[in-house]
Structures are given as C-alpha cells and as structure tokens.
Structure 1
C-alpha cells in the first residue's frame, strides 16, 4: 500500500531529477559570467588604466540596472511563465559577456556591465519562484540549497578562467582576458536553448509525473496557498507593498554588500600575499568549496526545524567573525586565509536560507513580486560593496579596513534579520488571533 509520504518523496525526487541539473548549470554559468571580471582584473586593470576605485565602480555598476529591471522582469515572469522569459535572460547575458571582450576602457566597461545587469535581471527570483511552484515549502530550503550549491561550485571557474587568460594571451593578437570573456560567454547561449526544452511552468504540464503524483503535488501546493490566505491576498502588487518584504530588502542590502565586496576583491587580496596569478585562481577556490558541505547540511537542518531567519543569522555571525579575523590579521597570510574560509562558509550558508524566507509568508504572484523586490533592491548592496571596498583600498593603501567594513555589514544584516523574525512571528500570532475571533463570531 502506497502512503502519502511515499508519493510525496517519490514526486519531489522526480521533480528534482528532472529540473535540478539544468538549474545548477545555469546558476554556475550565471556566477561565472558575473564574477569573471574579478579574474580579468589581475591583467585587465593595468592594460585599461583602471584604478581600485574605478574597478569598484565597474564591478558594482552592474547592480544599478540589475536592480532597476528586476521587478519589471519578474512581473513578466508572473504573466508569461518562467520557461520562455528565463531562456531569453540566459541567452542575453551570454551574448553580453562575449561582447565584453571588445571593451576599450573604463567607459565601455561600465556600459557593458550596465547591459549585463539588464540581461540578467529577473533570473534568480524567477528560479526561486519556479521552485516554489514545484516544491512544497517543507522541502524547499533543501531544494534551493541543491540549486544554489552551484554558486560556491562556480568558484571552480576562477582557476579555469585564469588558465584561459594565461593560455590564450596574445593569440590572434588579443589579450588573454578578452579571450576569457569570449569563451565563458558561449555556454549560456547554448544553455538557454536546453532550458527552454526542459523546463515546464507548472505541475499540470508535467508529463513525466504519474497522475497520482501530479494530483498530490497540485494538492500540496494548493494547501499552501490556502494557508497563506489564497490567491486574492497574494497578488503581484500586494507582494510589492508587504512591509516584511521592505525589511528583508534592507537585510539583503547589507548581506549583498559583504558578499560581493568579498567576491569581487578576493583575487586582488590574495595577490598581495605574493601568489602567482594561477595560484590565486586555485587558492580563491578553497573557501567556496569548503562551504558546499556545510551549506547543504545547514539547509536540511533548516527544513527539519521549519525555521529560516535564525539559521540565516547564525551563519551571518560566522561570516562576520571570519572577516574580522581576516581584517585584523591580513599581515599574516595563513591566519587571514583561515578567516576568509570562515567568512566564505558563513556567506554561502546564508544564501539559500535567505532566499527561502519570502515563501514562508507569500505565495503565487505575490511571491514573484516579493522575490523580485528583495533580490532587485537588495542587490543595491552589490554595488556599494565593491565600490566602498575599492575606495577604502585606494584611500588607505591596503585592504584591512575594507575587510572589517565587510564584517560589520554582514553582522548588521544578521542582527536586523532577527528583528524581522520577531515581526513575522508577531504578525502570524495576530493573524491567528483574528482568525479565531472570526470563527467564534460565525459560530
């Protein structure tokens, strides 16, 4: 006799087997193309006359257009579905990455990074909206972690990109960093086609599921929507106006400040330890790889406990401690690197937990809106993180103060998240009490 639990486990497993490989590949390509600028900077900055402050601007300006177009992009997703629109996003960012090979100076690089922001806008929240449309909330953090695991794994691209730069230097009269942009931009163009072929927008379109599995999945997701107040309460524009969303925007701004300040500058920090360019690529890979196991375990723990925000806060504090150690001991390469490893583990463990928080109080189109708002406006921190890091580096002649600022930002994010948690819990208690009063008044 087949139980509901058996059907649920089998169905979720089938969904993940069907969709996770292409989602992981797309996320891997996303972060490779977003962050390969940090690898190119080791040789590109001198060639194009880019100072640390200008590099911070070039790295961060991407988030201007990314944030501006995030909400419109996800409104389109809520109307036409993930399949067509995200396939367009993937192909677009691949083409812009390839064109970046033609950059002639800081001005053209800024324009191309702005275009990359337009191209990528909407991808991450659309992927989260997609998982929320297919995976019940009780299993969602673990599913998100399996998808987001490609983010730390994309660190593998750092040494690969460095080897491309080294091997292709001078080929056909072009700098190696130009070849790197050309070569790393091609895979997303191909992935966009396969994404369109594989992805389906909703369980009703899932021919790979048996009728009983489709029925179970649609029933579970419908129960969730009902428990959160139904579709009318969760329209796209209500998701934009939700006060909890506004608070999480600030949490994510501080988190993104720390994350992207770290990611865009870690190769240059490691270079100051006296490493070769190739060695920088391999050493920079260690912190994200160390984060993979803890991230998967922490997200499963979050699912078992059915708790998100405190899990985010704990790993945020770990990242803050790591950055503090690195900043205070930057003159001791080994100790500083241990600090960066702790910071990397904390930052990457935070990511899937943070992304799963909105689905605890939003559903349907409102979830698409909430994710777009948090990811879009929150990524403003992705501009300020690299920009402030570059300015401090240029003003002080080193990275210690900048790294300590990254520590303060992620610590503030963790503490603010705990305050948001209190508000969400109070909101649920208020809604439960109101519901109880309604039941009494109608009986």
Structure 2
C-alpha cells in the first residue's frame, strides 16, 4: 500500500498573511469622478492644486481693522460679506463690518468681535476685550492646505470627508484601482440553495452570500456559483466559469477528507498551491493558490471558520489588490468582562461582544455555529498556551464591525 505523504506543518498567521499579500497583484489604475470614488483607495498621493483658504478669512462676525489703531474709535467705511469682499483698503482709524467666512480687507490685520463693540451711526467703539493676539479671529491664507501640499497619501481609503477635501483642493477626478471582481464558489452535496427547503440531510447554503457580503463595503463586484456538488468535474467547471474573476473564494472542500476536492481540482487544472494549512483556530484548513493574476483562496466550510479566515485573509487580500496602504486589520487592547480559559496549541479567535468599555466572550465557540458569529462585533485573540485570564485582563481584540474604517 502506498504511503500517505505527511501533511505540511501549519504556517503561523503572520507568515501566511505575508505570503498571501506578496502574491496579490495590484489592479490597474483608473481615474474616477471624485463624487463617485467613495470606498476606493488612492493609487497615488493627491497634491493640492490651490490654497485653502485662497485669502485671509474672518472666523467670526465682527469688524475688520488695523490693530495699530487700538483702542479706537473707528469710522465704518463698508462691509465684507461671504462671497462679496470689500473692494477698498482699510486705512488708519477705519473699520469694515465683516461676516464669518468673508475676506479680510487689505490693510486690516484684526477682527473685533461684534459682542465686544458698539456702533453709533458710522462710529465704532470698543466696549469689550480686543483679541489677543490680534490675528486670533483670522484664518490665514493656506491655513488648511497650500498649493502642492500632499493632502492625502497613496493607499488612503476615500471617505466622505476625503471627497470634500479633494474637491476643495481642486480635483474633479482621482486615481484609484479599478473595482475588483470576486467569485464565491460554494461546494458540497449537503448544501441546499438559498430560498429552498433543505432536506433532513442538507443545510442551507449560507456561506456563499455571507462571504460575498464581506466585500460589499469595498469597490468589489461579487458573483456566486453553487452549490457545486462534490464531483471533480463539477468543481473544475465552476473554476472555469470563474476565469474572469480577480479573486476566487471557495467555501469547504479544502481539508483532507475523501470529498474535499479543492486541491485535486487545482492539481487537475495545473494550478500549484502556494500554501495550505494555517496554525489558527478556527480556520486551519486554509488554502492559497495563484492562477496567472488570479488568486484562489480556499476557506473552510464551517461558518465561523469561513468568516474568521475571510476576516483575516480575504478582506486583507481585497484591500491589498485595491491599493490599501495598510490592508491588514489591527488589534486594540480591551479589558475582558468575562473570564477567558487557557489557550490550546493554536492561536485562537474567539467570538465576542464589545460594548465600548470591555469585551465579553460568547459562551458558544463551536466553528459550526452561526448565532455567536452574528452576535459578535469583535474577535478576541488567544495566543497558544495562554494562561487563564480573569475579568479585567487586557486582551488583543479585532473590532470586526470597524473593518472597513481602518486604513
């Protein structure tokens, strides 16, 4: 009887993530309308094309004058309103009524607040306190940014504020990576298509829609194939149907069982696996391969395993190909509000709920359970062999509902 070759040792998480991201090809650059760029990542640093503000502006309602003329009185000679600047120059003993956002007239270097002054006909007097320093209520030219300043770096994820900044800086189009095409293949004879009533030997095919939803906060178009039966020819046909995708994600079939056909299908297609198996729980049987510029990511079939590996691998892959400067999620230190038991032989990711002050572990941590996954908004990292941790112990936590807000 032929001897079964030994399984490769599982890779450490950081090494596996680094190998995956090293494979990720950058998508082509395109120029998009700024107003239609929300969620994309800048492919190049964005410089300012103008000064903001383009002239000194008043930060308050009041009167513009020369500080040298304190303590007054002053003669009112005109007005500067937002969009309607005073056309002349403020001379000795003169003042101009000014509104918030209006251009400070030439010759003026101080804005006296309205509540610190009194007006009688065209005479203005000081009745309160003059600003200290004199320019306190003036926004200087270029206060926000000046021409050629780098306002946003390459790899920055564009959000609503960044759209406003880019437009204010003189841009109507921005360079980004084009939208990513992802295909999710759900495999297994036990799966019933969504919307159908499963037989007693079946379960609803929930992983495909769940994994497709991972990319919905990013410029990703998702297509689902399946459920695909546990036949080599059917799986190869599914891979062929996904030939135009940038990323193929499979759910199930990446382990060592007789019906786990992802590796045999890739071998039949001549696709070499870059690595297989990662030392984490849940999610050990994870597979990564590359076919040309296409990345194939084989995730486990258990729902929690599929979601955790999608968070740790699929999401960073999508972000890296879209041009994110920092595609990996980051942890923060949060105190436990429930105790945590001793760690096992692998790094673990425990489903938990963060309430803004601390994090509570869900009592159910089975990799086949969806309820704790839906309740969770955090993953607590438990290192291999970690000692038991009582309430109040700081632990490293991924805030999973903030995944698209991280840069």
TM-score for both structures, normalised by structure 2: 0.21
Select the structure of larger CA radius of gyration.
Answer: 2
Which structure carries more relative contact order (alpha carbon 8 Å, separation 6+)?
1
